[in-house]
Amino acid sequence: MLALHFRLITGSAEVSDRPMSSFARLGLIERELAGDDYPQIRDALANWWGGLGGDDGADHRMALVPRLFFDHFSNSSVLIGRHGEMVGFLVGFLSQTHRDTAYIHFVGVRPTE
């Protein structure tokens, strides 16, 4: 599997064939997002923010992460899991204009982590 390594200071990314070993050391598994992940991400967007903004807030967060990201940018977005449960996700994509730049669109981390 290709691992996406982000350099947050510059906003650029590099693709490498070496795994993100720091995840494994923490007992975490990372993988690309898939279309089948959309329902559990929607649940996380509704629940992980502690009710922030009520139903309108949950709807707004869900609108920020449409299904098209799962269908068209899955190879640059990741789901982080532990013991079969999602504990985090990152939705982003590589720039088509600037090949060494990545855009991180949305990040979610389960509040108990």
For the ranges 15-19, 37-41, 108-112, which has the lowest average pLDDT? Answer: 15-19
Q: 105: Cβ–Cβ under 8 A, 6 or more apart, which residues? A: 64, 65, 69, 91, 92, 93
Token pair in block for residue 56: 């309108």
Cα separation, 20 vs 102, whole angstroms:
17
- pLDDT score of 30 more than 90: no
- Residue type present at position 72: H
Least confident of 12-26, 56-70, 95-109: 12-26
Q: Is the dihedral of CA 38, 108, 99, 3 positive or negative?
A: negative
pLDDT value for 51:
78
Residues 6+ apart with CB under 8 A from 41: 33, 65, 70, 86, 89, 108
Per-residue confidence (pLDDT) for residue 58, from 0 to 100: 86
Measuring CA to CA, which residue among 70, 22, 23 is closest to residue 45?
Answer: 70
In the chain the domains, ranked by start, together with CATH numbers, are 3-109 (3.40.630.30)
Whole-prediction pTM: 0.74
Q: List pLDDT tens digits, range 56-98.
A: 888 889 889 988 888 888 888 999 999 889 999 999 988 889 8
Mean pLDDT of the chain: 79
